[in-house]
Structure 1
Amino acid sequence: MVRPTPPHQPRLGWDPDSEDPQRHEPHEDGAFDDADHNGFDDTGDNDPVRVRVNDESKVSRVDTGQLQETPLPGGRFSSWRQRRKAAKAESSENDTEQDPDDPDTVVAFPRSSHRRRRRKRLLALLTALLLAALFVGIVFFSPLFATRSIDVEGARLTDPQNVEQALQRFEGVPLTRISKEEVRAAVGDVPQVKSVDVVLEPPHTITVQLHERVGVATVQEGQDMILVDSQGQQLASYGEGDRPDVPMIEGGRDVLSTNKFAAISEVLAALPASVLTQLDSASAPSESSVELTFVDGRKAIWGDSSDSELKAQVLAALASDEETAGGSEYDVSAPLHPTIK
């Protein structure tokens, strides 16, 4: 089967330069010559095909008012893409209309949320640092917490003025800049003080509680009697008529550095106050033999410094009991088997 050649294409073997161009020109009514109605020469081998051409009168025009808008294809993404394209087209038109050298045509991009958050964090950090510096300045350097009062308690052997003088350098200093260790170190130079409790009471007070050394004996130095503790620390000086109620150790101040004094002081430190205040003197013929003398003349043979606590309890019981209080000598060198003369 031979397919016909469409009317808008020339037939095979046809040379447009060899024929009369007017032959194929349409007439005023839009029709061709009879020989051209089929688009082929009658002398051709192919079967003729007749083509009917509609004139303009048979073409109906479309009423544009009856047209309906075709919905956008696809879902939300397609709609977003169409709107995006329309926005870009409108933006490009605006850019072409404006002068690129005009500063009003420059579009400022909005700041990102990350930069805003970073700026807020930086502002918050600077505010916190400023408040911290203000707090430190008020608490540590302002006179708001300055020391104005120093209270000394527990001073018997110690002159309170000596302690206050030792702590004078803390006056006017804020309590927040004073440590308890510094106060203890300052009071530690006072010879009568063994330990110190410090209480910092805002806003302006330092309270110092003294724990003084305990005097256990006196030694004679010229006309004065010097009170010493069990370690030989000199606590106070008295006149001969003002001697405290503690025994006297012969040998003067030089005896404080001997082993005899160490043995005697260990015995005296173990005695209760009820016995210690009744003693007149203490001596040590040797390091293993300590003797005590009461004010009324009674004596106590102590022996060495072993079992001092038990010996002290036995001697206190013998010296206070009515049946044994009349004895002249108490031997507690063997505390489980004491003897009385």
Structure 2
Amino acid sequence: MKRPPGITPPPPPPPPAAEPSAERPKRAARAPRPTAATAPTQATAPTQAIDQTQPLDLTQPLDLTGSLGRTRSVKVPTAPVAPGTRGGTARPAASKRPSGPDAARQLRKATAARRRFERQEARRFTQRSRRRRITLLIVGGTLAGLVLVVLLTAYSPLLAVRQLAVEGTTRLDPAAVGTALDDQLGKPLALVDYGAIERDLAAFPYIESYSVEARPPDTLAVRVVERRPVALLQTAAGFDLIDAAGVVVQQSGERIPGFPVLDLTGTEVGSPGFQAAAAVLMSLPDSLLAQVDRISGTTPDSVTMVFSGAGQRVVWGDAEESELKAQILQKLIATQDPSLPVEYDVSSPQSPVIR
């Protein structure tokens, strides 16, 4: 049988080992390592360099040469190569791209979806700032609208003064006060001249204080607090009616009935004696005040009064506990004959004395 060229015959088998003898066998001498001179000459098969840059063709038999000089042909079974593969490795199939009108339609849909998503994201990230801006705009617009409505309403002729209401007068004539303030008629309520009102009311000495109130749509109300006259001061020209502060509210050539005459001998208006006498007159009830003919207060603790009629006299003392003294004096007067010249001493209200 002929061998294919390039394949060397296998080496001869080793000789059979000798049978062991009964005696202890001796170790066989180690055969010398063959050298280049003694090694049998063998024909070597030519080798072929492998080009690693080229793909390996697994469909062809491989030439494997062993160290013993044997050559075997091995054929590796391979699976059928599918189209679109290279070197046995499958490549992903290219997606089929649409073309023509379908491609343009899908591109427009994708572009619209992307823009819609971008707008949604932009709205989501700016939602807080938009809410704050909307709130500020609403609040600012509301305030501006209210200011505009107030201005248009306040300065409109619809809210002009057409009526004057004077309240709180007893001795004053309300018609005279209204006539003094008629220059405010026709003005809008927001443009009423309060300085002019003060100058006009200063001509009425009976007015101690006042307040002005605008009552939409067309009324201006003036509430007056009148002075309370308490005594008369006798002067060269007649009599001056004064209040507890010494302000003259009325002048007359004759004595005004219903008010006692204040004797300022040894004192003057505004002195401590004057203030004590005025405080006593302010604390007296109307029934007692109508009976007083004269009152004097040289010092703060020496206030005395003289009743009209029989000339009964009252020693009052200071202005402290005036209400209690007035109650005790009324009870003492009720026990006495008004025609007798009696003196009542209530300077110490806990122990009153009748002389």
TM-score using structure 2 length = 0.55
Q: Using a 3 Å threshold, how does the CA distance of structure 1 residues 50 and 259 change in structure 2: closer, same or farther?
A: closer
Where structure 1 has 5 or more consecutive residues not aligned to the other structure, the ranges are 1-10, 17-36, 62-81, 83-89, 96-106
State how many pairs are aligned.
Answer: 262
Counterpart-to-counterpart distance in 2, 1:155 and 1:171: 24
> After the TM superposition, which of the residue ranges 279-288 and 263-272 deviates more from structure 2?
279-288
- Would you say 1:244 and 2:257 are equivalent positions? yes
2:47 to 10, 13, 26: 13
Counterpart-to-counterpart distance in 2, 1:311 and 1:50: 146
1:289 to 302, 305, 316: 302
Paired AA for residue 254 in structure 2: E
Counterpart-to-counterpart distance in 2, 1:213 and 1:146: 31
Three-state SS of the structure 2 residue aligned to 1:236 is strand
Deviations 1:289-341 (A, max 9, x none): 3332222132223142244333222222333x264433312222444444445
Counterpart-to-counterpart distance in 1, 2:341 and 2:183: 54
Q: Is the 8 A contact 2:160 2:188 kept in 1?
A: yes
Three-state SS of the structure 2 residue aligned to 1:135 is helix
- Would you say 1:256 and 2:269 are equivalent positions? yes
Q: Which residue of 2 aligns with 1:46?
A: 71
> After the TM superposition, which of the residue ranges 184-193 and 291-300 deviates more from structure 2?
184-193
Paired AA for residue 228 in structure 1: I
Counterpart-to-counterpart distance in 2, 1:274 and 1:159: 26
Where structure 2 has 5 or more consecutive residues not aligned to the other structure, the ranges are 1-44, 51-59, 84-94, 96-102, 109-114
Q: Which residue of 2 aligns with 1:172?
A: 187
Q: Which residue of 2 aligns with 1:213?
A: 227
- Would you say 1:232 and 2:246 are equivalent positions? yes
TM-score using structure 1 length = 0.57
Task: Give the drift of 1:40.
Answer: 6.5
Counterpart-to-counterpart distance in 1, 2:350 and 2:317: 15
Task: Give the drift of 1:134.
Answer: 2.0
Say which structure is richer in helix: 1
Return the index of the structure with the highest Cα Rg: 2
- Would you say 1:155 and 2:169 are equivalent positions? yes
Once the two structures are superposed, the pairs formed by residues 44-123 of structure 1 within 5 Å of their partners are 45-49=70-74, 110=119, 112-113=122-123, 115=126, 117=130, 120-121=134-135, 123=137
Deviations 1:42-84 (A, max 9, x none): xx95134579999xxx9999xxxxxxxxxxxxxxxxxxxx9xx
Q: Which residue of 2 aligns with 1:277?
A: 290
Over aligned residues, Cα RMSD in angstroms? Answer: 4.8
Task: Give the drift of 1:235.
Answer: 1.4
Paired AA for residue 47 in structure 1: R
Q: Using a 3 Å threshold, how does the CA distance of structure 1 residues 155 and 49 change in structure 2: closer, same or farther?
A: closer
